[in-house]
């Protein structure tokens, strides 16, 4: 099996599996319990929190754990806008964000917020000079993704964050770093909140985290106990948290090595298709994460090519797994170039992939595509 759908989810690494197993079988007490058994469980979760915080350049008390990236994004968007609404009514995002941000912004509009979408070019890059004009004293919140989950485009969050703070230091800047976490280094200097997810870096599903810079006010969306400073109450998912800590340690320990390896895999697949007519790269080929390669194949439905590749044991995707079951799914490709939307396949990689797999995939695509195009003409 060749698994090229790592932007949807990754396999659980051995270190994460062992960490989760330990919490499920040995340190399974409730970390809020006052007895020593509970204290041992709490210590393990605090150790995982320290690993993650250290990896991203934060303090442990600046992290809360969530059920994943979607909850982290929702908490950031609604928690901040509720806390800061008296200071202004404008919020800004990009039209190509993940559904867990875009749907939140739709809700904000229904609640009376002035929702603005920053302009982007035909590759998805934010048009920085136009965006700068949008920042004024009424803008309380900006949310921008670091690595686009569909096309892999990298936004310059450092430059964007500095611009925001120079124009209005009171504006809160949130970065959805679900696809960049553990894969690309990110400076937190101008970032107030940052979303992360475990299962994109070989941790377990159902666990994520939100970085909240000290001094940033956040209204809780969940009410109950007083865990995690009452910001996100509820008994902590200790197996998921400790697995996330273990996966995070592995990811950042090998971050440069993994990036180089994945780049070779991505380049092998891309180079292997250069001789095939009617293949287009979606997004900015020079400013994208090597972990994601979005290609459109002229004259072929992406879903048909996807299932054809399955016959050869190759698994990819047509886009964001979070949108595929929606009746009317949001698509970044649809926004950038509607003519390519139905013919797109997203290949996404991890350090577990290799160039031999990429070469094999390219060879099969070159065999399949002419046949599918000929079949369509008939």
pLDDT in tens, 193-219: 999 999 999 999 999 999 999 999 999
pTM flag (> 0.75): yes
In the set 13, 207, 248, 322, the catalytic residue is 322
Pairing of strands 208-212, 172-176: unpaired
pLDDT band at 298 (very low <50, low <70, confident <90, very high): very high
Convert the pLDDT of each residue in 126-184 to its tens digit: 999 999 999 999 999 999 999 999 999 999 999 999 999 999 999 999 999 999 999 99
pLDDT band at 322 (very low <50, low <70, confident <90, very high): low
Structural domains of the chain ordered from first start: 14-253 (3.40.640.10), 255-377 (3.90.1150.10)
Q: For this structure, is 13 an active site residue?
A: no
pLDDT band at 377 (very low <50, low <70, confident <90, very high): low
In 192-273 the beta strands, taken as DSSP E runs, fall at 193-197, 208-212
Give me the pLDDT at residue 375, please.
72
How far, CA to CA in Å, does 133 sit from each of 13, 22, 191? 45, 52, 20
Q: Looking at residues 252-281, what average pLDDT do you find? A: 96
Going by C-alpha positions, the residue among 296, 198, 291, 289 that lies closest to residue 238 is 198
Handedness of CA 332, 334, 336, 341 (dihedral sign): positive
Mean pLDDT of the chain: 93
Convert the pLDDT of each residue in 68-91 to its tens digit: 999 999 999 999 999 999 999 999
């Amino acid at each position: 099996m060749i698994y090229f759908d790592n932007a949807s989810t990754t396999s659980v690494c051995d270190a994460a599996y062992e960490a989760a197993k330990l919490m499920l079988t040995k340190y399974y007490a409730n970390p809020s319990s006052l007895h020593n058994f509970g204290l041992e469980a709490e210590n393990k979760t605090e150790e995982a929190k320290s690993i993650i915080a250290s990896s991203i350049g934060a303090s442990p008390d600046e992290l809360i754990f969530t059920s994943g990236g979607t909850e982290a994004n929702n908490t950031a968007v609604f928690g901040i806008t509720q806390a800061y609404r008296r200071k202004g009514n404008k919020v800004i995002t990009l039209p190509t964000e993940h559904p867990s941000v875009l749907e939140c912004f739709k809700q904000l509009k229904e609640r009376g917020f002035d929702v603005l979408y920053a302009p982007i070019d035909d590759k998805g890059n934010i048009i920085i000079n136009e965006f700068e004009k949008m920042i004024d004293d009424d803008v309380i919140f900006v949310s921008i993704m670091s690595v686009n989950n569909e096309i892999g485009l990298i936004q310059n969050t450092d430059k964007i964050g500095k611009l925001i703070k120079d124009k209005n230091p009171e504006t809160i800047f949130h970065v959805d770093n679900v696809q960049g976490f553990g894969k690309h280094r990110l400076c937190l200097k101008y970032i107030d909140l940052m979303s992360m997810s475990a299962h994109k870096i070989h941790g377990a599903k159902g666990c994520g985290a939100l970085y909240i810079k000290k001094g940033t006010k956040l209204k809780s969306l969940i009410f109950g106990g007083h865990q995690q400073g009452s910001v996100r109450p509820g008994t902590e998912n200790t197996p998921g948290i400790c697995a996330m800590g273990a996966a995070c340690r592995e990811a950042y320990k090998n971050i440069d090595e993994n990036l180089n390896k994945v780049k070779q895999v991505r380049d092998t697949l891309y180079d292997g298709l250069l001789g095939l007519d009617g293949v287009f790269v979606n997004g900015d080929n020079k400013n994208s994460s090597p972990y994601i390669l979005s290609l459109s194949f002229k004259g072929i439905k992406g879903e048909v090519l996807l299932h054809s590749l399955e016959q050869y044991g190759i698994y990819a995707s047509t886009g964001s797994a979070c949108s595929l079951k929606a009746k009317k799914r949001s698509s970044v490709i649809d926004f950038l170039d509607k003519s390519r939307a139905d013919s797109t396949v997203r290949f996404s990689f991890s350090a577990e992939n290799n160039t031999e797999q990429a070469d094999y995939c390219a060879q099969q695509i070159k065999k399949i595509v002419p046949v599918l195009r000929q079949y369509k003409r008939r």
